[in-house]
Structure 1
Amino acid sequence: MNEVRRHGPIARFFLWLWDAMNFTRRLVFNLVFFGLLLIVLTMMFGGGGLRPLSDRTTLVVAPEGRLVEQFSSDTASRALARVLGDQRGEEVQLRDLLRALDAASKDKRIERVFLRFDRLEPTGYASLRELAAAIARVRASGKQVVSFGESYMQEQYLLAAQANEVYLDPMGGLVLEGLDRYRLYYRQGLQDKLGVDVHLFKVGEYKSAAEPYVLDAASPQAKEADLFWMNDVWQRYLGDVAKARDLSADKLAAGIDTMPEGIAAAGGDLARYALQQKLVDGLKTEEQVDDLLIDRGVADADAPGGFRQVSYDTYLRHVDDGIPSADPRPQVAVVVAEGEISGGEQPPGRIGGESTAALLREARDDDNVKALVLRVDSPGGEVFASEQIRREVVALKAAGKPVVVSMGDLAASGGYWISMDADRIYADPSTITGSIGIFGVIPTFPRALEKIGVHADGVGTTRFAGAFDVTRPLDPAVGDVVQSVIEKGYRDFTHGVAQARKRSVEQIDGIARGRVWTGAQARERGLVDDFGGLQNAVDDAAKRAKLGKPDTWRVRYIEREATPFERLFAGFVQSRAGAAWLHDSSFAQGMARAVVARSVPQMSADLQFLDAAMQRTPGAPVKALAYCFCEL
């Protein structure tokens, strides 16, 4: 009978070591092999560069997705989602649209611009007005601008109205209705139905951000303040449309008041009604508009629509193709602060006390950066995180680098906190800003627990031990402590604004108390220095740094850069071969669905905000918040 030969411990060790080395060798070889394969495929099918841009080309600007200041997903995920046609969570950078339009206005190869904005999801009127101004510059350069839409929201129409000719599908619609701001209120549901008691601490009768958790309807002060700034934005909208369409703002307003009669007279035909109101120049199908562009441009049977064209993202690659990768010129850096302000490290699309401060610190430490523009689009958030960012703004100025703030759609509450110490603040007249105020909320759940037969009990070594336990009723004395903390935060805010804006605390308090203003109203009250968009802020920063003529310096965005793999993968999926393979790959489609963000309903977002407010800051009885629910 044969016996199994057993190895000794030393032999077993060397056998194990050999297997481990063999496994590692195969693993490394496979990783290198597939990496090289991906590089070869990208080089083979990446298109070999851009096709030359011919004369008499039509630039087609047809963005799809949410208009943002900064992408919130990485390069590879965006490319993958775009190839697979998954438009959920699609984003369009405002800066890209502006660059394409401004380059086209000077490019002799671009004969006309064709606009399709009916699939763009706007986020605010300040960014829309900045984009509308860029379209107006193309038109002023002498190039023809044609716009078409199957249907228009009133926000999209502000952009379309800037064209020489505006066409609407005969089965489409366009209705101007005005601005509204309605919110859900949870007091009855939370307190009466669920037994959740929400304790609100704030300073300022106009600080209405947390009202939905303690009231059943908006307070009179909230309605007064909201209607004041909304009317200002709406009147400016009517004026902008009237100017672009050579109409009267009063006539536009009258058309809204008599809309039911006008639509009835048009037989319920919304497209025909828009034509009668002179909001559009004609009713055409997409095919008819394509025929028009073929007649006016150059026919190209291989192009979509049959006319010679270039998409705005491909055109941007042409624009960027001539820019050297290593540019030794001094820089005006731009840091984007978009989204809610939270503590710690946050991804793009949100503002982190540490991550955004780190970007500002990078600009301060870089000798090539001579000035900085902070582009703010934020409703605010945590006070301490806001203060971390503000300190870096002050440190930049102390280092001799001018800081200019460019406000986007929204720079309110904490968004104003991080802006106030800049050398100069630019805003659009329709920017939403102000909301200088502080609040805190503490939900407690003892009544909710009682409903299911659960009770909290125990002991503590002092009167206040466990006083902030949400399973226990809130002691009124603890409420006094929290209110004192909130009032201190408000004093810090108003004193900081007063010092930064060179005003008295009493003057700032008179325009603070949580009240929201438009950019125009804020400028009248000294909270904003001047009107203008991002380019105005960049030019101002360069001037303050004494950088000379525009061609002697350049603009650089400081943000998370794509990794080499992300750039490589994005190039592969955008190639013809990569796009064809991925489009038919169920694996890739499932992967895309996993990486594309989904929208969150208002109720879920509001309750998530309440949950975040419950997370206590170490050493503090309540998380002080400088936040504004003031988006349209």
Structure 2
Amino acid sequence: MNATSPRTPAQRTPVVRFFIGLWDAMNFTRRLIFNLLFFGLLLLLLFVLASGDGVPKLHERSALVIAPKGNLVEQYSADPFSRAMAESMGQGQGEVQLRDLLRALESAVEDKNIERVVLRLDGLSGGGMASRGELARAVARVRESGKEVLAFGEGMNQAQYQIAAEAGEVYLDPMGWMVLEGLGRYRAYYRELLQDKLGVDMHLFKVGEYKSAAEPYVLDAASDEAKEADLYWMNDLWQRYLADVGKARGLDPAAIAQGIDGLDAGIQAAGGDLARHALDQKLVDELITREQFDQRLVERGVADKDAEGGFRQISLRDYLARVDKSALAAIDPRPQVAVVVAEGEISGGKQPPGKIGGESTSVLLREARDDNRVKAVVLRVDSPGGEVFASEQIRREVVALKEAGKPVVVSMGDLAASGGYWISMNADRIYADPSTITGSIGIFGMFPTIPRALDKIGVHSDGVGTTRFAGAFDITRELAPGVGEVIQAIIDKGYRDFTGRVAEARGKPVEQIDEVARGRVWSGAQAKERGLVDAFGGLEDAIADVAERAELGERKGWGVRYIEKAASPFERFFIDMAQARIGQALLKDSSLAMGVLGRYMPQAADDLRFLEDAARPAAGAPVKTIAHCLCGL
């Protein structure tokens, strides 16, 4: 009887044993790294929790120091994770939200711990006259509440001064500068470069003699119609600027204008000293250094040797953290007014913040429509327009909101022109600042042809087609008359759609809309006179109006929230960690964090400007119809 023995494993060769051992080592290393990362993050989380809520204390008799650095925007163009990482490492974010500045100033009015507000606006850039006007009025409300408002600058441009002028006291460094010069708008024109030098023929199709957005591509200088229209609305804005500054400073607007016209003589009389000239013109109260200004705040307030400048204070960032603390604690169960921001150029598809996407912005409006807690919507528009179809997608969502029983009010920011007006026109009510730039109701399309450019390098196009129009829209061929007629017919139809929809939305005859359309740009005040805008007011006025339309009752009974792309849970964790003091300390000098930041920070602006992209027709369409206005300042 034969006994069977257990099977012995096959003999492994040295090569096999080597690779198996290597694989086991790699597995062990992988598990070790992941475990270290897990426990490291867990330890970091415990540190964050142990460090408290990260919200600095606010002592009585504090000065709120508002020293924003970056472009004034309606909405951040970077995602929350990237902003938090950049801020934690002291790199700043390059953008300042208008809503944040307004919220801080409005809260300071009622905050008993805020004794005064200090404005240092040297680092604030961008924005238009409408948004800066909202800020100026918020500063004025703080001053009218009886609290001191002081502004100091080492240099102050015309835009910054629009806000600073509302302070009770305006100071400038003796070696500083400030110049008011008026409004100007000049553009580069490329016809000679494109047509004569490069051999590229840009064929422009438009409706409206004032529709000048594409003129730089087909002319060597601005048309008479463009100059007439631009000077008309710019003069209105400038007179408003002079009136506002004059009222704030107790000066005659005519005297301010006279001082600007005599700038050369005034500077020479001041010995070339720009700061002295500003003082002579009574635009500032006194010339003192930053140290002298800080010492004045120490004397008026409470000394704090550990604070920058030596006086008790709280920064804008820390103050906003306190203001928003309750909002972050839990979801507000009250009925909501939703605010959807539409800022930037309007393009098709999904676009990141800072641009308006036909799909992405529609998704936000649809979210407001589907959310049972949202009872009304404010669409905040700051846009020069863009693609017609994308604008129409957004307009349809506004109509759908109204059909769902949710009122919609539009709040125009600095610019709501062309496509920006298209997405606004169906709102229950349109608010604008008198200095908002709007209108530009018109359509254009561009079609480039490049056979002459190809000739310059010895390249020629030839072939056959089965019909007259087979290959007729090929940019390597000359533009046939029939092709031009097709494109112009498309543009004409787009203009009829635009004016027809405006007439229906505004309850006016098409002929009356055509009189104020034809691509002409208007200031907010001029637009109201012509029935394109309903009322003057800022974002808060629009919110109050739409809440009343939704019958939400007293202000304390409803909340306001912005509907934006939310951060993921992973991003939310890192945002909270990065904003805590322990997180900032750990991240500030971390080369690993710098690598992560470099990987996830948003890329620079698109390689091609909007109009250059507009010259390329959409797939399947002979021309892309554009409702765009190059009318910002």
Q: Normalising by structure 1, what TM-score?
A: 0.94
The superposition leaves residues 119-138 of structure 1 with CA deviations (integer Å, 9 ceiling, x where unpaired) of: 10132000000011100000
Shift of 1:387: 0.2
Counting only pairs closer than 5 Å after superposition, residues 484-563 of structure 1 correspond to structure 2 as 484-563=489-568
Kept after mapping to 2: 8 A contact 1:468/1:621: yes
Partner SS for 1:175: coil
Kept after mapping to 2: 8 A contact 1:341/1:385: yes
Determine the C-alpha separation between the residues in 2 that align with 1:207 and 1:301: 59
Determine the C-alpha separation between the residues in 2 that align with 1:361 and 1:384: 17
1:90 aligns with 2:86: no
Aligned partner letter, 2:487: V
Determine the C-alpha separation between the residues in 2 that align with 1:375 and 1:286: 37
Aligned partner letter, 2:294: D
Residue 193 to residue 105, structure 1, CA distance change in 2 (3 Å):
same
Determine the C-alpha separation between the residues in 1 that align with 2:47 and 2:486: 65
Shift of 1:23: 8.4
Residue 15 to residue 476, structure 1, CA distance change in 2 (3 Å):
farther
Q: Normalising by structure 2, what TM-score?
A: 0.93
Shift of 1:6: 5.3
Residue 287 to residue 453, structure 1, CA distance change in 2 (3 Å):
same
Partner SS for 1:105: helix
The superposition leaves residues 348-390 of structure 1 with CA deviations (integer Å, 9 ceiling, x where unpaired) of: 1110000000100111111111110000000000000000000
Name the % identity: 65
The superposition leaves residues 416-437 of structure 1 with CA deviations (integer Å, 9 ceiling, x where unpaired) of: 0000000000000000000000
Partner SS for 1:86: coil
1:293 aligns with 2:297: yes
Q: Report the count of equivalent residues.
A: 620
Partner SS for 1:267: coil
1:43 aligns with 2:49: yes
Partner SS for 1:40: helix
Shift of 1:589: 4.4
Task: Find 2:226's aligned residue among 222, 235, 248.
Answer: 222
Match of 1:579 in 2: 584
The superposition leaves residues 44-82 of structure 1 with CA deviations (integer Å, 9 ceiling, x where unpaired) of: 5x5543233111010001110000001111122112323
The superposition leaves residues 528-580 of structure 1 with CA deviations (integer Å, 9 ceiling, x where unpaired) of: 00000000000000000001010111101110122233232233333444434
Kept after mapping to 2: 8 A contact 1:363/1:372: yes
Match of 2:266 in 1: 262
Shift of 1:472: 1.5
1:58 aligns with 2:59: no
The superposition leaves residues 223-267 of structure 1 with CA deviations (integer Å, 9 ceiling, x where unpaired) of: 000000000000000000000001000000010111111111111
Determine the C-alpha separation between the residues in 1 that align with 2:61 and 2:619: 63
Kept after mapping to 2: 8 A contact 1:122/1:128: no
Kept after mapping to 2: 8 A contact 1:122/1:156: no
Determine the C-alpha separation between the residues in 1 that align with 2:233 and 2:604: 27
Determine the C-alpha separation between the residues in 1 that align with 2:625 and 2:557: 45
Task: Find 1:249's aligned residue among 250, 253, 257.
Answer: 253
1:405 aligns with 2:406: no
Shift of 1:475: 1.2
Match of 1:112 in 2: 116
Task: Find 1:339's aligned residue among 344, 350, 362.
Answer: 344
Partner SS for 2:341: strand
Determine the C-alpha separation between the residues in 2 that align with 1:85 and 1:48: 20
Kept after mapping to 1: 8 A contact 2:56/2:318: no
1:316 aligns with 2:327: no
Determine the C-alpha separation between the residues in 2 that align with 1:268 and 1:23: 69
Counting only pairs closer than 5 Å after superposition, residues 604-619 of structure 1 correspond to structure 2 as 608-619=609-620
1:423 aligns with 2:424: no
Kept after mapping to 2: 8 A contact 1:147/1:160: yes
Counting only pairs closer than 5 Å after superposition, residues 111-510 of structure 1 correspond to structure 2 as 111-323=115-327, 324-510=329-515
Residue 595 to residue 225, structure 1, CA distance change in 2 (3 Å):
farther
Residue 49 to residue 195, structure 1, CA distance change in 2 (3 Å):
same
Kept after mapping to 2: 8 A contact 1:86/1:593: no
Residue 362 to residue 524, structure 1, CA distance change in 2 (3 Å):
same
Residue 612 to residue 438, structure 1, CA distance change in 2 (3 Å):
same
Match of 1:74 in 2: 79
Match of 1:631 in 2: 632
Shift of 1:462: 1.4
Kept after mapping to 2: 8 A contact 1:337/1:377: yes
Determine the C-alpha separation between the residues in 2 that align with 1:576 and 1:19: 38
Determine the C-alpha separation between the residues in 1 that align with 2:84 and 2:21: 46
Shift of 1:621: 1.1
Kept after mapping to 1: 8 A contact 2:54/2:581: no
Aligned partner letter, 1:529: D
Determine the C-alpha separation between the residues in 1 that align with 2:581 and 2:29: 36
The superposition leaves residues 254-294 of structure 1 with CA deviations (integer Å, 9 ceiling, x where unpaired) of: 10111111111111000001001000000011111000000
The superposition leaves residues 160-192 of structure 1 with CA deviations (integer Å, 9 ceiling, x where unpaired) of: 111110000000111110000000100000110
Partner SS for 2:321: helix
1:620 aligns with 2:609: no
Aligned partner letter, 1:368: R
Partner SS for 1:151: coil
Kept after mapping to 2: 8 A contact 1:74/1:566: no
Determine the C-alpha separation between the residues in 2 that align with 1:492 and 1:213: 25
Partner SS for 1:322: helix
Determine the C-alpha separation between the residues in 1 that align with 2:402 and 2:566: 25
Residue 593 to residue 182, structure 1, CA distance change in 2 (3 Å):
farther
Determine the C-alpha separation between the residues in 1 that align with 2:600 and 2:523: 36
Q: Which runs of 5+ in 2 are unaligned?
A: 1-9
Aligned partner letter, 2:612: D
Determine the C-alpha separation between the residues in 1 that align with 2:241 and 2:564: 33
Q: Which runs of 5+ in 1 are unaligned?
A: none
Determine the C-alpha separation between the residues in 2 that align with 1:565 and 1:249: 54
Shift of 1:466: 1.1
Residue 79 to residue 395, structure 1, CA distance change in 2 (3 Å):
same
Residue 211 to residue 318, structure 1, CA distance change in 2 (3 Å):
same
The superposition leaves residues 100-121 of structure 1 with CA deviations (integer Å, 9 ceiling, x where unpaired) of: 0000000001000000111101
Determine the C-alpha separation between the residues in 2 that align with 1:83 and 1:339: 27
Shift of 1:34: 4.3
Kept after mapping to 2: 8 A contact 1:78/1:90: no
Residue 592 to residue 35, structure 1, CA distance change in 2 (3 Å):
closer
Residue 179 to residue 527, structure 1, CA distance change in 2 (3 Å):
same
1:32 aligns with 2:29: no
